[in-house]
Amino acid sequence: DSGGPPPLLPIQSTASAMSNEYASFDEPKAATSSSRFSSLFIIASCVLNVILVFGIVVMMRGDNEYQSTELGIPMSMTMRAPMYTIPASTGRYADVSVDAGVKAKTRKAAAKRFKVTATGKVKSKMAGKQHLNTKMSRKNKMRLGGKRIIEDADIPNVQKCLPHQKLK
């Protein structure tokens, strides 16, 4: 009959079950590698906790080296003023200020994008042909494939990026 309750298992006495499962306190248990590992792990964690507490106490003592804020953060970990500042960009190209003792360097990204003609004019690729051009006519895409002459207002920015070129 499958509809009835499951058959009952024989009940063991509590004394015999405990004697089978647990070792008595009188007999020492043989040490295994896992018990050695766990004891080493406990010792290592205790040592690390002592080191951590010692570090916190040293930081909270208030030595000159560690006085930065009320939290006791070392001065080396606090925010300091940057050693140099980056000039803010006013337009498309960054405003590069030339100092007397600094060597003028060509910006490689600009050198790849601009070509200087023999007369000193600057040519660059036209914008608008990278993507979303399936709706354009063939004539419009061909026109955008050519080069354009950079406007006179943008020449100072290009000159700063290409300091060794003679631009007009």
What is the model's pLDDT at position 66?
47
| Amino acid 81: pLDDT | 56
Task: Output the pLDDT for position 55.
Answer: 81
Global confidence as pTM: 0.40
Instruction: Determine contact, residues 135/127, Cβ cutoff 8 Å.
Output: no
Instruction: Determine the length of the chain.
Output: 168
- Averaged in consecutive runs of 10 residues, what is the pLDDT profile of the chain (168 residues)? 62 54 55 73 89 81 55 58 54 55 89 95 94 94 95 94 91
The secondary structure of the chain, three-state, reads CCCCCCCCCCCCCHHHHHHHHCCCCCCCCCCCHHHHHHHHHHHHHHHHHHHHHHHHHHHHCCCHHHCCCCCCCCHHHCCCCCCCCCCCCCCCCCCCCCCCCCCCCCCHHHHHHEEECCCCCEEEECCCCCCCCCCCCHHHHHHHCCEEECCHHHHHHHHHHCCCCCCC
How high is the pLDDT of residue 159?
A: 94
**Which residue type occupies 132?**
L
pLDDT value at position 168?
83
Distance (Å, whole) CA 100 – CA 88:
20
